[in-house]
Amino acid sequence: MVTTSSRDDWQVVVVVPARDEEQLIDRCLNALGDAISRLTSVRPGVDVDVVLVLDRCIDGTESKASTRRWVRLCRADVGNVGRARALGIEAATAGLPPSRRTWIACTDADSAVPRDWLVDLLDLADTGIDMVVGNVRVDLDELPPTVRQSVGVGLMPDGHDRIYGANLSFRRDAYDPVGGFRPLSVHEDVTLVRAFRAAGHRVHASGSLTVLTSARLDGRAPAGFAGYLRDLLPTVRLSPHIPTTSALALHPSPDRG
């Protein structure tokens, strides 16, 4: 746990499910470390707890993560991303009083959050928002050269309808009453967002709050983001406004449906 003075009463919980991510876990945790440093420099009273859920990992993910003392390792044998996220939240919030203002931030082990991610999330939380649904940028360097130029790019506006578990965060006191993450192998994030909205919670879809994520086509979850990317490739268009970085947000063509 990263602990500082008591200027701010927020408790931040970051939950990261992982399954055999030894190739990308360093990038993920380095980015989280930078985001925590940035947050505690701006809000020195915030406590941050990072839980990495090692779900059936048999590679070097645990070995690499264990070198960072500020990361709490939670071993699981569920083979289910919804249950893995829920277990991480349960581990991180156990013992916290219900009255403690707690913000839960979810990302993935194949993703890298921006430096201001946690700062921006708490700024939004302070306005009374209960959930932030962020955007993702795909690392085009991971795509085969033959398909890189066929992938459409562009930024999504606020109010977009995309939902990504790699960039989803919310208040604990709103999460618990709706039943939390369901034990689903896919669309656990979509189901949770729908539950928040059905309960009347304030859900903000941010197009500018963006997380870098892997462009691999063989994902860990069936019909997850990798499957979405495989389906998207034949139908996307190339935006005329190409940002300078090669890590760009997917922008589907209007006729995708």
What is the spatial distance between Cα 174 and Cα 176, in angstroms, rounded to a whole number? 6
CATH topology of domain 11-256: Spore Coat Polysaccharide Biosynthesis Protein SpsA; Chain A (3.90.550)
In terms of DSSP bridges, do strands 131-139 and 203-213 run parallel, antiparallel, or are they unpaired? parallel
Mean pLDDT of the chain: 83
Percent of the chain whose predicted confidence (pLDDT) is above 90? 67
- The pLDDT tens digits for 118-171 are 999 999 999 999 999 999 988 777 666 666 655 544 567 687 888 999 999 999
- Do 198 and 190 meet the contact criterion of CB atoms below 8 Å apart? no
* Of residues 110, 173, 118, the one with CA closest to residue 136: 110
- The DSSP string of 14-34 is EEEEESS-TTTHHHHHHHHHH
Instruction: Answer with the residue of higher pLDDT: 3 or 256.
Output: 3
- The pLDDT tens digits for 16-28 are 999 999 999 999 9
Whole-prediction pTM: 0.82
Please tell me which of 92-101, 194-203, 235-244 the model is most confident about, judged by mean pLDDT. Answer: 194-203
- The pLDDT tens digits for 33-67 are 999 999 999 999 999 999 999 999 999 999 999 99
Q: Which pLDDT belongs to residue 145?
A: 67
Alpha carbon 178 to its chain's center: 19
* Cβ atoms within 10 Å of 98's Cβ, excluding its own: 9
* Of residues 120, 141, 147, the one with CA closest to residue 204: 120
State whether residue 101 is helix, strand or coil. coil
What is the spatial distance between Cα 248 and Cα 155, in angstroms, rounded to a whole number? 8
Going by the DSSP 8-state scheme, the letter that residue 86 receives in this structure is H
Phi, psi angle pair for 115, to nearest 5°:
-60, -35
State whether residue 111 is helix, strand or coil. strand
What is the spatial distance between Cα 237 and Cα 138, in angstroms, rounded to a whole number? 15
Percent of the chain whose predicted confidence (pLDDT) is above 70? 75
Domain boundaries, the chain: 11-256
